[in-house]
Amino acid sequence: AQKDQASRPHAQVDIFDNSAGVVRYHWTRYYTGAEDDYFHAATVPADGSLIRLRVDETTKTLFRQRVTSPGSGSTYSSWTDWSVDAFAVALASYGVNVWAFRIDATDGHLYRADSTDSGATWGSWTDMGAISGDATFRLAATAKSLTEAIVLYADGTDVHRRRLSGGT
């Protein structure tokens, strides 16, 4: 085009709403809450409900929420006090199974609670052992199947993992 006397050189820019052939999501804000920006987690199990956890920064109290049909008309401000404390939290789900993880703010152990009905009900917290966790630790979790999940925790220097197999 630069050598052609009949046209002016110009750049043509095409903008596509995808990256590597994958369509990008356009997020819509449904809720602007008054909750502190502190440790939190979210997952969506097979029934389409939204499960959220959050830790109160001051009291280290762990709260949970289940929104059965998340949408613009849903209530996102109702939280249930789980009656435990936490520094960090993570969630993972596969099908109807949901796993909640927390680092206890009192003893620094890693704990897990299980749900087999998309977060409608929960079992008791299970102690997964000492990790000497504190407020500097971070958690992440992912599920591989109905009975397998991995929780990762970082202490600022190293990343560690615990594998759940067979629901244990």
- According to the 3-state scheme, what is the secondary structure of the chain? CCCCCCCCCCCCCCCCCEECCEECCCCCCCCCCCCCCCCEEEECCCCCCEEEEEECCCCCEEEEEEECCCCCCCCCCCCEEEEEECCCEEEEEECCEEEEEEECCCCCEEEEEEECCCCCCCCCCEEEEECCCCCCCEEEEEECCCCEEEEEEECCCCEEEEEEECCC
| Whether this model's pTM surpasses 0.75 | yes
Q: For 33-70, what is each residue's pLDDT tens digit?
A: 888 888 999 999 999 999 999 999 999 999 999 999 99
pLDDT of residue 100: 97
Rg of the Cα atoms in the chain:
21
Q: Which two tokens stand for residue 46?
A: 């097979």
β-sheet bridge partners, residue 52: 42, 65
pLDDT of residue 8: 56
Q: Is the pLDDT of residue 83 over 90?
A: yes
Q: For 97-113, what is each residue's pLDDT tens digit?
A: 999 999 998 898 999 99
Alpha carbon 11 to its chain centroid, in Å, reads 42
